[in-house]
Structures are given as C-alpha cells and as structure tokens.
Structure 1
C-alpha cells in the first residue's frame, strides 16, 4: 500500500442512540475536519475528507507526526482546535488553520496502513491497538493524540458526553474491517437540543431540500441564526408552504437578505421548534420538528 494515495474515508451512519452490547466500542465524536495523514520516508502529507491535499495548512501537526511516528503509516482522524476545557471548538477551527496553526490537534482513531502494508481488513480493535502502540504513551504537549474509547453501555457513555457538552459519540463494531463510504459498522449519535425560532424567510433551490431561515427574538430585534430543513408530516409541510407564500414580503427585517438571491423573505410572525446541535452560535444540522400556531 503506497502512502500518499488518498483513501476515501469510512463514514458513520447517523442514529438516534448508540448501539449496545460487547460487540461495540464508543469514542468521543470530535467536532472538526476529517483528516487523513500519510507518513512515508520521513515526509508527511495531510488530506481532507474529499482528498484535497492540505499539507501546507497543517505543518505544525505534520511536524509532530514526523517526530512521533518513525514508520510509514496512514492515519485516519479528526483535526480540531480545543478550548480551555479541552473541548473541540468548531467555530474557531477555520481561523486557527489560517492564523494559529500551532493550536491545531489531530486525534487519530484508525490505522489504515503500516510499513507499506494495507491493514484495512484487520479487525477494528486490532487496528486501533496497533495505532495505540505506534503512537506510544500520551504526550500532553503533542499535536498528535490517540482517540481513546469506552467499553460498556453506549447509553451510559452518551449520557456522560451530554453532560460534558460534547458533540456526540461514534460507536464502532469491534470485528469490522475498514470500508470506504457509508458504513453501518460505524454509528454516530449527536447531542441535540430544541429551541423556538421565528421564520424570517425560506429557500427552495432546485436539487436541494427546501429550508427555512430562522431568527432568535430579542427585546429589540431579530437575530438571524441559520437554516433548518422541515422534518414534519407532509400535510403539515404543505400547510407551512402555503402560510409562507401568504406571508411573503418584499424585504427582510434583518440583514440576512443581503446578497442572498435564493432567499424569499416573509413577515416574521410564524414560529417553529427546531432541533439542532447544542452549544453553537449558528444552527448546525437543524431540522424543524414543530410549527407553532401564531
């Protein structure tokens, strides 16, 4: 197996709750950019989830990887930036890549190749043990870290992750091989919350799911927070679009309309309940779960 040849990553399936049983282990889901690091002949390269070479952006991490790993290897993991409590902070990641490269940390959670050998067909727990051995004892100062796992109840581990305000959990079947693309052997469970928002517009682009533009209501104004896709029964969805067409107006009450030609503004009277990832300034992975009667 030649290092430097990008391998499409294994993508976990989103589920409502972690699987249970001894066949599974569970890890923290880090909130960052999926990254693949290739080490060969004392050189290191980093690829994004889609195979783009971002080595120049990750030089500090790659420098630590070269110092720590003295063998040819292909590592799968997540590039993150962490806050003072050690939690990954997604909203600061893009800025850190550009201006604070030294603050980046790579959490390695799988080993795909070692010394030129393809080990993707080995068991997941065997690959991870080889990865742990390869990285050695944890060094707090290193920008290359091993992603530890938990053995036991997935529900219990997820509850602890919720209390820590982390993004979620990735559960992996211990005996599974590594397959590129969507996988049911890897399952991700995310921490969500719900909130009440005002609909200030919508988008219905060809080839994409229609979405609502939502805002939070303050004492003096409406603050745009992001988009959400309706996840309600078809009959209620039809009622929603009829109401939005009736509420169409010629301008936005907030600046969100500037430069957004696909956005259709509406009078800000309709409220909805939306489910979204917790702890974010803007809505991420948001869905509308209920329409509130004005």
Structure 2
C-alpha cells in the first residue's frame, strides 16, 4: 500500500516527556533477552543481521487495546512516549507480547539518543519491533527466531510509528559495511534458529559495534571551569566483580539544558564518600554522589589502564539500574564463516553504470546546473548491494522516458537517506537548502496548516538533486501547477491486504478494465512496484478532482459488486480484514501522490513501478518482475507504452451514460 501523503491528519500534540524519576515501575514485567559483545563482522548462513538501534529497549504487552509499555527494568514508558503507546492501543490482538526499541529520528532519518532524551511532539519517533514472545496469550519463545519474526511481520499493522525490524541473512560483512557507511551504531547478529530466553545475555545474539558506545555509572562531578556553569565533568565508572571501577570522566556533549537537568538530578545524591573506595585520577575538586544514575557515552578507544579515551556524554538512561552496568566482556572466539549458496557479491547485482555522468563527491554540471553528489557509495539495498550512486545513475538514464510524467507536477518527497532498512521521512517544503534553479510551487496545505513550497521536477538536474537527497521513489501529483485542481488522469489503486494473492489483484484489475471498456474509457495499467497494481484513466485536465473521484468511486463500486468475496471499499485495514483488496478511489484528491511511472521503490529487489500492456495482466505476472536491472532493456524493446495517459482524456458524460449513470 502506498503511503497517504497529503490527507493524513496532523498528529496529536503531546507535552514534553516526564522526568525519568516520575516513571512508575511495574512489579511484574518481562526482562528481555540480551546480546553479548562481539568483535568483527562475519558471514554465516545460519545467522541473520539487524540494525543496532540507538534508543530505549522496550517490551509491549498488548491485549485488545489494553497496553503495557515498559523498559528492560520495568519502568513504564506510557507517559514518556504517548505516541507509541497510542499506536499500540490500535492493535486489536489478544495476548500479544512484543520486543523492540523506541528510537527518535533526526532530520536525516537517523536514530539519535540525544533527541530521545528531549522527546516532544516535533520529534519523529518509531518503535522498531524485532521479536514476538506471545500470541493469543501463548508463548512462542521456543520457536526458532525466523519463525517468530515471520509471525511478527504478519501481526504488525501498517504504521509510521510501529515498524517491523527487517534483517539480512548470511551476509554480515556486507551489512556491517552498509551500517558503517550510514553512520549507524552497529548491528545485532542472531542465530536464525535461536529460541528466546528472557533475562539472559546469550551467545546466540551478538552485538557488533561500529561506534564505540557504553553505559556508565555517574559517581560524581568536578567543579566548573572557565565559562562553564554547574559542573565541569562527570566522573564515570562500571561495576567489575561487584566493585565500581573508574573508567574516566567526560565534560563534553552537554548544552546548557542538559547541564541543568543532570545537575538537578545529582543534587539529592550528593555524598562525602567516594563510591570507588580508592583514589581515582581526577584533576580538580570532586563532589561525590551515590552511584544511581546511568548515562550513555561514546568514546574512541579503551586505554591499557581501562579508561575510555575521549568520552562524550550522550544522555541519561532511565531503563537500567546502576548495579547492572558491568564492563562488557566480548563473546569468545570468531564465528566460522560460511558462504550460502544464494550469496552474491554486491558488484554482480549493480545496475549497469551510465556513461555520461561521473558519480563522485565533486561538483558536476548537469544541463548547465551545478550539483554535488554525496555519499554515493552508501549501500541502500544491503541484500542486493545497490548504492545511492546506483539510484542517481538510474534516474539519470531513465529521465528521457520519465521526465514527461514529472513536468510541472509538485512533488511530495519521501527521503530515505540511509537506505531501505532505515526509516524514511516526508519532506514537502523545498526550504532554504534547495538550489536557486530548482522550480517550486507555493500552495497552502490543509494537513500542515501552512503554505508549502513544493519542489517541481522540470529538468533532469532536479530529479538527480532529489535522488541525492535520498529520494528512492518519486511521487508526483496527478495535476500540474498550471491547473492544480484538474488532474490529467484518475487512478484506481488496487491495494491487497496481507492474505490476498497477486492472482486476486490481477483478477480485480481485469474486472476494472471490463467496466471501463464498457464505459468507453481508455485505461492503462502499471505495477505499483510493491504489492499492487494501478489503473490510470486519461482525463486531459478537463474535470475537477471531485468529478474524477466520483467517477472512480462508481467504477470501484461496480468492481466490488462483481468481486464481493475478496474486495472492499473500506480504507481501514482493521475494518476490512486481512483478506480484502482495497479498491482505492480516494487517490483522486489534490495533493495525493502515487509512485511515478518508472519510479524505483524502496522494496527488496529494487523494483520499479512499470507500465504494462493489458495483455500482460494475467496469471504469472509478479510485482517483482521489473527491477532496476531489467527495466531499461524492457523500455528499449517496447518503448514508452504509458504516454497515452497524458493525451486526450475521456468524455466522462458519455462514459457515465454508457454505465447507466
């Protein structure tokens, strides 16, 4: 299902999170399974690999709208992160237990632990769920991990807030390389057949870090120096053999706000006694505190004496008790590498390079416009090995065919700067960072309640600029800026649910074609590039969005009457069920967007939204047939078979009369 971009209601506004000290703690709670530290990435066909999220581990218990959401030590997150809590309440399952991580996302869509500390309603938030412990109140912890994840993926609803945490099988080295390129913290390696063991740190789960991070206990603080107020540095330790051991002190990573917050939290804990029991090498007067507060730090290396070199404060942790902060011991021994039969190198999967553009981090001139392509070797599809540079190359090559479908149309940007396994974010306003030569169109957005400067893709350089922003898919309006309320075509989006077959999608599309043929209306199909099909009807900008929507609604009703067993006009997935195809006629509204013809999609295999002949819409067609690798060969053979959607439109009055309307 394509995301509904312009018509989504504005999110609820929540007040800033409560201080951690106000969190209630549950008496009975599930302690999640933990991973051991491991040095070095590895390949192994018996293992899978996930992103190591930089957030708060969170367990969710869901039972028909009743929810408990808490940390690994039982602290409630319900008032801290209400947007996650409310999203979980919409899951109408019984006796469901989920394990995942609450993550705050920065402006580039990357996890940020610091943002999570100061979370408010303006911060994008996601609950990445990577395991399922119970279904219908029955434990599935003894099932193999991959079986649990398959169950989990089917259970989770479509949501921008609750997201299934995907994985890569076998190819840990390539995945870790992509993690490093994306600037993420690291990866988690898990045995594919591992069972779940509550409260256990197991060698079946391993964490491989790119950025060195650690939890540390705050043992005191030094006096401020220079212009710094309140305190100079935090004195840090970890527990080893039951004793608190000094690991260094950090005076960086603070702004005025965090200085005040940490200082205020430490005042009730002041004491005259050093919690280390021995003298430690600090360089100014120290105020000792009872060792209760835990913080996150990042650092460059561990010295021979055990100190963390160049530690940076990342934020306080509320989800771990101080006595549980131990020096991390690496899991023993390397994992034997095995090559799976299906493992292919990234270079074999790359799209054919384009000859007329040199992708690099230097200035490029495209059609007289100056562009700088950045991070072009960043892997966007870890399994296949396709990079950001491949996306730029693809759009450079496809523009002669694709450009006509973008010209004069406002764009709603979905940016995925860290690839398909990381969260994306919507970006509608061109803002101040867009080059001066990029065309824009200003219009009031009801959903945003403000005027927005939409980018309009009128030349190749603009399309490549969008690709460099991380726009894997390109999503134009159905109307142009010259006639913004009059679409050039109407669209029926055939959107399957979880239990529908693609054969049913094909059958629905052909029934729609029969109805349109009876009306005397030309129609043109294309794959969505995901799980569905789109049917376009040319209008020639002669009718309003309201008229287009009403006509599309009539066709959808007639199709549903012929296929009542597995189609629906109910938009809500929870109401229509998992075996009902949604015939979406509501795409025909101003500001709604669909993937453009020839747009890449951020899906496995790097699929392309591909125009079809109706003769191809038959059994055997698959959404994955057309990809970044083969689409150019197809176009050279068949030409652009979709161009007629931009030509003379139907006579809607005659069509309605033919249908008895």
Question: If the length of structure 1 is used for normalisation, what is the TM-score?
Answer: 0.67
Aligned ranges 1:70-149 → 2 under 5 Å: 70-96=93-119, 99-100=120-121, 103-136=124-157, 138-139=158-159, 142-149=160-167
Matched, 1:182 2:201: yes
Tell which deviates more after alignment, 207-216 or 4-13: 207-216
The match for 1:156 among 163, 169, 174 is 174
Shift of 1:58: 2.7
Higher relative contact order (CA 8 A, sep 6+): 1
Do the aligned residues in 2 keep the contact of 1:73 with 1:113 (CA within 8 Å)? yes
Alignment partner of 2:126: what SS?
strand
Do the aligned residues in 2 keep the contact of 1:107 with 1:145 (CA within 8 Å)? yes
Cross-structure match for 1:208: 244
Do the aligned residues in 2 keep the contact of 1:80 with 1:93 (CA within 8 Å)? yes
Equivalent-residue separation in structure 2 for 1:274 and 1:110 (angstroms): 32
Do the aligned residues in 1 keep the contact of 2:52 with 2:185 (CA within 8 Å)? yes
Cross-structure match for 1:274: 301
The match for 2:183 among 165, 189, 193 is 165
Cross-structure match for 2:336: none
Alignment partner of 1:57: what SS?
coil
Do the aligned residues in 1 keep the contact of 2:188 with 2:205 (CA within 8 Å)? yes
Aligned ranges 1:219-258 → 2 under 5 Å: 251=284, 257=286
Equivalent-residue separation in structure 2 for 1:83 and 1:116 (angstroms): 36
Ranges of 4+ aligned residues in structure 1 off by more than 4 Å: 200-206
Distance 1:203 1:37, change over 3 A: closer
Do the aligned residues in 2 keep the contact of 1:38 with 1:46 (CA within 8 Å)? yes
Do the aligned residues in 2 keep the contact of 1:69 with 1:134 (CA within 8 Å)? no
Q: Deviations over 1:198-225 (max 9, x none)?
A: xx99778992112222567xxxxxxxxx
Q: Deviations over 1:183-202 (max 9, x none)?
A: 111100111369xxxxx997
Equivalent-residue separation in structure 1 for 2:182 and 2:80 (angstroms): 30
Q: Deviations over 1:250-287 (max 9, x none)?
A: x36xxxx5x4469xxxxxxxxx973599xx953799x9
Shift of 1:144: 0.5
Q: Deviations over 1:80-105 (max 9, x none)?
A: 11012221100111210xx3387331
Cross-structure match for 1:13: 36
Shift of 1:124: 0.3
Aligned residues: 229
Distance 1:192 1:62, change over 3 A: closer
Equivalent-residue separation in structure 2 for 1:58 and 1:157 (angstroms): 30
Distance 1:155 1:203, change over 3 A: closer
Shift of 1:67: 1.9
Do the aligned residues in 1 keep the contact of 2:41 with 2:172 (CA within 8 Å)? yes
The match for 2:64 among 16, 38, 41 is 41
| Stretches of structure 2 lacking an aligned partner (at least 5 in a row) | 1-26, 214-232, 253-277, 291-298, 316-324, 328-661
RMSD: 3.5
Do the aligned residues in 1 keep the contact of 2:94 with 2:137 (CA within 8 Å)? no
Equivalent-residue separation in structure 2 for 1:34 and 1:130 (angstroms): 20
Cross-structure match for 2:607: none
Question: If the length of structure 2 is used for normalisation, what is the TM-score?
Answer: 0.31
Shift of 1:149: 0.4
Equivalent-residue separation in structure 1 for 2:136 and 2:162 (angstroms): 19
Shift of 1:7: 1.6
Equivalent-residue separation in structure 1 for 2:247 and 2:146 (angstroms): 40
Q: Which has the larger radius of gyration?
A: 2
